[in-house]
Amino acid sequence: MKKKRQGALNVKFRGLIVLLALAVAGCAGGNDSGGTGSGPSASTPQATPTESAVPETGGASVPPSPSEATEPPAAVLNPESLSGLFGFADEQGTRLMALTDGMEPETAGAGELESYRLAIGEGGGQTLRIRYEKHQTRTEQDNGRQSSYNFDNMEGDIYTIEEGKATPNESYFLVSEEQFDVQALLPLKPSADRELPDEAAKKIAEAKGRAIEQGWLLAHARDGQRIYAVQYQRQGDDMLASLVWEDGERLVFLDYPAVYDEFSTWRVDDGAEISPDMFRFLFAARSADDEVVLGVQWLGAEGENLDIAASSEDRFETIGLSAGRYLSPI
């Protein structure tokens, strides 16, 4: 009887142990997903969604998207405050002679001459850094020609080119860095095909109200603009030619009216005709409100006229910066 009681106690004890073991296993090995991997360790806490989405104060800022970023305003020239001198290069392209011989002494004093540190030319494709060197006096060998082969004999103010190299005998516009932001330049490339497109000829004739006698495409600008030269049909003794700046549908005219002369209408010995070889450009540059500033070289039989013109709506007007080079052959 005593052995039967002990056996029953042993069975109950073993059953209690089994139940206790099952309870412990259920607490330690539970997994909501039913997988076999262990859960995260208590010693390695994970960040909550809020912690991972919001950076701490003072952390790196998120850069704006391209649509949120704003572009800086385009550089422009102010023609009303623009000043400068014209000059030309020597035979080596290492010096420039400023055309100051016909100017009043107080017009360009030494301080102002020294402020000109840039020379712009070749359609805006050349930007040279320059430094004022000295005033040169005239020698007995001076023949009066403002050209590279007479450079060392004529009177004028000389600049040394510190960066870049000039095209020998080519003209340049000398300016200060404060007044001329080179980022405003619209470099011009001479046109290989000079034929005036029919569509452009029609637009120009309609805008001017005058038939075209002849015309040419002179140059392309970086942003797609074009420059044409046109001669209109003669009306009695009334003669007219224009340089035309085309920017999309917009046309801007720099007019050259003249009185008919069989031999010399616009320039000496021009035969009452203009030609595409008469015109080159020092530069083109943006001005405010989508206007443009143009440096024009107008070559004739005896010399070259140099002018700066600024646009306003459909017209160019010269702004008082001009000079001339006497180049007549000897």
Kindly give, in sequence order, each residue whose CB lies less than 8 Å from that of residue 62, ignoring residues fewer than 6 positions away: none
pLDDT of 33 higher than 80: no
pLDDT score at 13: 43
Helix (H) or strand (E) holding 25: helix 2-28
Question: Which pTM was predicted?
Answer: 0.77
pLDDT score at 8: 46
pLDDT digits (tens, 9 = 90+) for 234-260: 999 999 999 999 999 999 999 999 999
Instruction: Read off φ and ψ for residue 239, nearest 5 degrees.
Output: -120, 145
What is the C-alpha separation between 44 and 59, in angstroms, rounded? 24
Tokens matching residue 278: 């008469």
Q: How far is C-alpha 285 from the chain's CA centre?
A: 7
Residue appearing with tokens 């070889």: 277
pLDDT score at 73: 76
Tokens matching residue 277: 């070889």
pLDDT score at 223: 87
Please give the torsion angle defined by the CA atoms of residues 22, 27, 33 and 35, in that order, rounded to the nearest 10 degrees: -60
* Cβ atoms 313, 251 nearer than 8 A: no
Tokens matching residue 106: 């107080």
Identify which of 87, 124, 85 has the alpha carbon closest to the alpha carbon of residue 304: 87
What is the C-alpha separation between 257 and 259, in angstroms, rounded? 7
pLDDT score at 106: 46
pLDDT score at 64: 56
pLDDT digits (tens, 9 = 90+) for 269-297: 999 999 999 999 999 999 999 999 999 99
Q: What percent of the chain has pLDDT over 70?
A: 75
Please compute the mean of the pLDDT values over residues 164-177 and round it to a whole number: 97
* Cβ atoms 121, 108 nearer than 8 A: no
What is the C-alpha separation between 88 and 98, in angstroms, rounded? 7
What's the mean per-residue pLDDT of the chain?
A: 84
pLDDT score at 31: 44
pLDDT digits (tens, 9 = 90+) for 93-125: 999 999 986 554 445 566 789 999 999 999 999
Please compute the mean of the pLDDT values over residues 49-64 and round it to a whole number: 46
Please compute the mean of the pLDDT values over residues 42-46 and round it to a whole number: 40
Q: How far is C-alpha 179 from the chain's CA centre?
A: 15
